[in-house]
C-alpha cells in the first residue's frame, strides 16, 4: 500500500511540475524532488545497474531540460551523472565548486545524518554552459545517494567555473 501511495505521489508531482514548466527548460524544486523519487522507485523495481544505465542515458527518462539524475556512493564514487557522464567511475569526494566548497563531502555528510536534504553550490549548467547557483535535492536509497538539482542563473554572467579537471 505504501508503494502505491509513493507511485501516485510521484505521478502527481510530475504532472503538476510538467504543467507548471511546460514553457521552460528550467526545472523547479518540485521537479527535482519528483525526479529523485521517480529514480528511487525505478531502482526498487529494476535494480541499481539498470538505474545507473538509465540515469546515464542523455535521452532517458531521468534527463529533462536542465534536470538530470546523479547517483553516488556514500564514499563519493560516481555511478551515474546525466549531466556529465565523464564523472562516472570517478571518486568525487574532493570535487569543489567555484568557491572551493567540497560538494560531495557536504552532501554525504547530510545524507549520512539525515537521509535526504537540499544543498546549494555553484556549478555549470549543461544547457547554458554558465556558472550558476545550483540547489540539489537528494535522498539516500539502498546505500547510494540519488540527486537532482535546479539551477538559478542569478550569478554574474562573466563568472566562469573553477572546477579543476572537469
State the CATH number of the domain containing residue 97.
3.30.450.20
The pLDDT assigned to 4 comes to 57
In a domain, residue 146? The reply is yes
Flag whether 163 is in a domain: no
Is 83 a domain residue? yes
Query: Tens digits of per-residue pLDDT, 60-72?
Result: 999 998 899 999 9
- The C-alpha angle with vertex 148 and arms to 26 and 40, in degrees rounded to 5, equals 130
- The confidence score (pLDDT) of residue 78 equals 98
- Cα torsion 129, 88, 14, 126 to 10°: value is 0
Q: Are 140 and 131 in contact (CB under 8 A)?
A: no
Question: Is 113 among the domain residues?
Answer: yes
- Say if 112 falls within a structural domain: yes
Partners of 72 in the β-ladder: 78, 145
Strand partners, 68: 63
Range of the domain at 41: 2-152
The answer to the question of residue 8 being in a domain is: yes
Is residue 60 situated within a structural domain? yes
The C-alpha cell 529523485 sits at: 36
Instruction: Evaluate whether 98 touches 136 at the Cβ level (below 8 Å).
Output: no
Give the sign of the dihedral formed by CA 160, CA 101, CA 52, CA 114.
negative
Domains held by the chain: number: 1
The answer, yes or no, to whether residue 50 has pLDDT greater than 80, is yes
Question: Is 94 part of a structural domain of the chain?
Answer: yes
SS3 label, residue 49: helix
Amino acid at each position: 500500500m505504501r508503494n502505491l501511495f509513493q507511485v501516485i505521489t510521484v505521478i502527481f508531482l510530475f504532472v503538476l511540475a510538467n504543467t507548471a514548466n511546460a514553457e521552460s527548460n528550467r526545472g523547479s524544486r518540485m521537479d527535482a524532488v519528483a525526479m529523485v523519487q521517480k529514480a528511487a522507485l525505478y531502482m526498487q523495481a529494476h535494480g541499481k545497474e539498470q538505474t545507473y544505465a538509465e540515469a546515464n542515458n542523455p535521452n532517458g527518462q531521468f534527463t529533462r531540460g536542465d534536470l538530470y539524475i546523479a547517483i553516488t556512493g556514500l564514499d563519493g564514487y560516481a555511478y551515474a551523472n546525466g549531466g556529465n557522464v565523464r564523472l562516472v567511475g570517478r571518486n568525487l569526494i574532493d570535487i569543489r565548486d567555484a568557491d572551493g566548497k567540497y560538494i560531495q563531502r557536504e552532501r554525504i555528510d547530510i545524507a549520512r545524518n539525515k537521509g535526504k536534504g537540499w544543498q546549494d553550490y555553484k556549478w555549470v549548467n549543461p544547457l547554458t554552459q554558465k556558472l550558476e547557483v545550483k540547489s540539489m535535492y537528494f535522498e539516500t536509497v539502498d546505500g547510494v545517494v540519488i540527486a537532482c538539482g535546479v539551477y538559478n542563473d542569478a550569478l554574474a554572467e562573466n563568472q566562469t567555473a573553477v572546477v579543476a579537471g572537469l
